[in-house]
Amino acid sequence: LEELRRTAYGRDGSTAPLVEVPADLRARTGYDEAELPAPLVALLAEEARLVDEGQALLAAERHADEAADPSDHDRTTDGLLPAPSRRRALRPGPLAALAAGLLVPRHPARRQLALARDHR
């Protein structure tokens, strides 16, 4: 934490000025001290804001789930998909890749690795 403070504020946390911690922030975080270094108070305030924002987003998502059509719960996205058409299944791209893999010589480094593996 000290390294993070030094990086963020260019000084040790111990040299940062002490500021009063608001009572609501003390209650939320469990800190009993009335004064803490200013960077720590700013960090705690930002953390509290992010927690509130996250709770609001979760509540909105929960509300959206409750308002969703109940008949949609039976549907899944993992249902069976129709088989691709014969023309789509035999596209030249995959066939060309297969042929290239068989016909194109291996990279020399890969060949050396294979030889080294065989000599073990």
Express each pLDDT in 77-119 by its tens digit: 566 777 767 666 566 777 777 777 677 665 565 556 666 666 6
Same structural domain, 21 and 61: yes
Higher pLDDT: 15 or 120? It is 15
Is 80 inside any structural domain? no
Same domain, 52 and 103: no
Residue 72 located in a structural domain: no
Compute the distance between CA of residue 25 and CA of residue 29 in angstroms, rounded to an integer.
6
Question: Is 100 among the domain residues?
Answer: yes
H/E stretch holding 35: strand 35-37
Check if the beta carbon of residue 20 is closer than 8 Å to that of residue 34.
Answer: yes
pLDDT single digits (tens) 29-83: 888 889 988 888 898 899 999 999 999 999 998 888 777 766 655 555 566 777 7
What domain range includes position 103? 91-118
Do 98 and 59 fall within a single domain? Answer: no
